Chains A and B, each alone.
Chain A
Amino acid sequence: MLDFISQPWTWWVSGIIISSTMFLLLFFGQSFGFSSNLRTICAAVGGGKFVKFFDFNWRSQIWNLVFLVGAILGGFIAKQFLSTGAPVAISENTISDLAKLGISAPTSVQPNELFSMEALFSVKGFLILAFGGLMVGFGSRYAGGCTSGHAISGLSDLQLPSLIAVIGFFIGGLLMTFVLLPLIF
């Protein structure tokens, strides 16, 4: 059994579990939207004293911070107990496209060129991680949600704003992938 679930999980298994997560959160009186935690953290560390946007009852969102802690724990469990250590099995086409950018084929989950300690402590590597995070944090709040809030929860409720946001996600993602990444690497 453990051997079986230590293999990478098929897409539909993942899809079923993600939508189940959304429904269980609804059943527990909440909703599935991860990026709200970023705003909650800003409020929890006292951001509300300086910026009105963070002056709200963040304690009502503690459940979501607990969910976040669970997600960290889930990553830890996956690594320690459910991992074969095999590299991510991405397509050959992606491997050869990334090779042109100087990113070597997967040896684990993440590319060393971006996430190794050497990369982190280089100026360029640090700036990549910092700007990536900055844009995710800024953009998700500007758009009012991220992949969970818009692409999963919002589209499930057939909300047009969420569809527009997801189209935005792809405009940005394609622009980065095909225009900016070749300039960066």
Chain B
Amino acid sequence: MKFIKFLVLGTLFGIVMAKSEAFSWFRIQEMFRFQAFHMYGIIGTAVTLGVIGVAIIKKYQIRDIAGNPINFYPKDKAVSRYLIGGTIFGLGWALSGACPGPMVVNIGYGYLSMIVVFVFAIIGTYLYGIVKDKLPH
């Protein structure tokens, strides 16, 4: 039962990805070609509200449902992993038109080819796990 709330939130996320067309290869192309405000509007609104909300959580030390403090952990200070990893991710994002979340939304929407993309994303993560220690971070 404790997982129901995550199922509901995931469903809401899936619906919004589909209904705002953010799960479309066409929208991702439009974004990378800077030909519409749509995707920037979505991400910009989410981040703007996010910055305000996170600041409020920190200022008023808001707690979660279990009464624990909501903590934000600073990510490791580094450049290589974010820049190189991010670039590889971006290459894949523009080619397949989907990041991991929208991939599975597409599967639910009936685009079964996305199963192949998603399975290869899992394989990609597995490959990273294998070569991780040999890569600059």
Contacts and interface: CB of A to CB of B under 8 A. Distances in A.
Contacts, number: 487
A151 B27 CA distance: 17
Contacts of A67: 6-7, 9-10, 13
Report the interface size class on chain B.
35 or more
A69 B135 CA distance: 32
A136 B128 contact: no
Given A21-B9, A177-B32, A16 B120 contact: no
B54 to A, nearest CB: 5
B26 A106 contact: yes
B11 A71 contact: yes
B89 A139 contact: yes
Contacts of A174: 32, 90, 94
Interface in A1-55: 5, 8-19, 21-30, 34-35, 37-39, 41-42, 47, 51-54
Contacts of B10: 66-71, 73-74
B61 interface: no
Given A14-B19, A138-B128, 20 more contacts: A5-B19, A9-B16, A19-B49, A41-B125, A53-B130, A66-B3, A74-B18, A90-B36, A94-B35, A117-B113, A132-B117, A133-B123, A135-B92, A136-B117, A140-B121, A141-B125, A143-B84, A155-B47, A180-B95, A181-B94
11 contacts: A19-B50, A35-B100, A38-B100, A51-B126, A63-B6, A73-B11, A88-B21, A136-B100, A136-B124, A140-B85, A173-B32
Interface of A: 5, 8-19, 21-30, 34-35, 37-39, 41-42, 47, 51-54, 62-64, 66-79, 82-83, 88-91, 93-94, 97-98, 106, 109-111, 114-117, 119-120, 126, 128-144, 146-148, 150-162, 164-177, 180-181, 184
